[in-house]
């Protein structure tokens, strides 16, 4: 998503656009991984030394509210943030906690069929599968 689109979306939703809010948005929306707020903070404070963790959390909550990111909460670890809000499966390694997106061939068709059978307004989705990744399997040998 381009900077102008982010600015326009914030303004359209009635939110102030700040340099730090824009930096956080551009950072998370350019990612293919699923960083935590702490990881975002550690990375962004290199270029934005006055940024606070509170600003990171507030901006992530705003992005979640707008629908640009999905918060992936886990009981044992810090929440992670997924900029991919399209239907997909989160493959979560139970050892290293890496999260990869997986797109089975028919997932959109299956999802459409499933929600058509429900008599509810669906406002979001999240599908997690847990496994041990190849790297962690190799470490156990």
Q: Which helix (H) or strand (E) holds 101?
A: strand 99-102
Supply the CATH number for residue 102's domain.
3.30.1490.190
Specify whether 65 is located in the same domain as 93: no
Give me the pLDDT at residue 141, please.
61
Helix (H) or strand (E) holding 129: strand 127-131
Do residue 47 and residue 92 come from a single domain?
no
Q: Is residue 21 part of a domain?
A: yes
CATH number for 7: 1.10.10.10
Rg (CA), the chain: 17
Asked, for residue 79, whether it belongs to a domain, the answer is no
Beta bridge partners of 41: none
Sequence-distant (6+) residues with CB within 8 A of 98 are: 92, 133, 135
pLDDT tens across 70-93, in order?
A: 999 987 788 999 999 889 999 999
Alpha-carbon gap, residue 8 to 4, rounded angstroms? 6
**What's the pLDDT tens digit per position in 8-38?**
999 999 999 999 999 999 999 999 899 999 9
* CA separation for the pair 51, 107 (Å, rounded): 39
Residue 80 lies in a domain: no
Domain that residue 55 falls in: 3-72
Pull the structure tokens for residue 27.
């950072």
Q: What percent of the chain has pLDDT over 70?
A: 99
Note whether 9 and 68 are same-domain residues.
Answer: yes
Which of the four pLDDT bands, split at 50, 70 and 90, describes residue 1?
confident
Total number of domains constituting the chain: 2
């Amino acid at each position: 998503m381009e900077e102008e689109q982010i600015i326009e979306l914030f303004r359209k939703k009635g939110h102030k656009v700040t340099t730090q809010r824009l930096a956080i948005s551009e950072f998370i929306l350019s990612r293919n991984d699923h960083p935590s707020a702490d990881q975002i903070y550690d990375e962004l404070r290199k270029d934005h030394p006055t940024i606070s963790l509170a600003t990171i959390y507030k901006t992530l909550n705003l992005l979640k509210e707008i629908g640009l990111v999905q918060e992936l909460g886990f009981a044992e670890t810090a929440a992670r943030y997924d900029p991919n809000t399209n239907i997909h499966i989160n493959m979560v390694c139970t050892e290293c906690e890496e999260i990869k997106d997986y797109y089975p061939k028919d997932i959109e068709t299956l999802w459409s069929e499933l929600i058509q059978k429900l008599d509810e307004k669906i406002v979001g989705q999240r599908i997690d599968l847990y496994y041990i990744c190849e790297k962690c399997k190799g470490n156990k040998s």
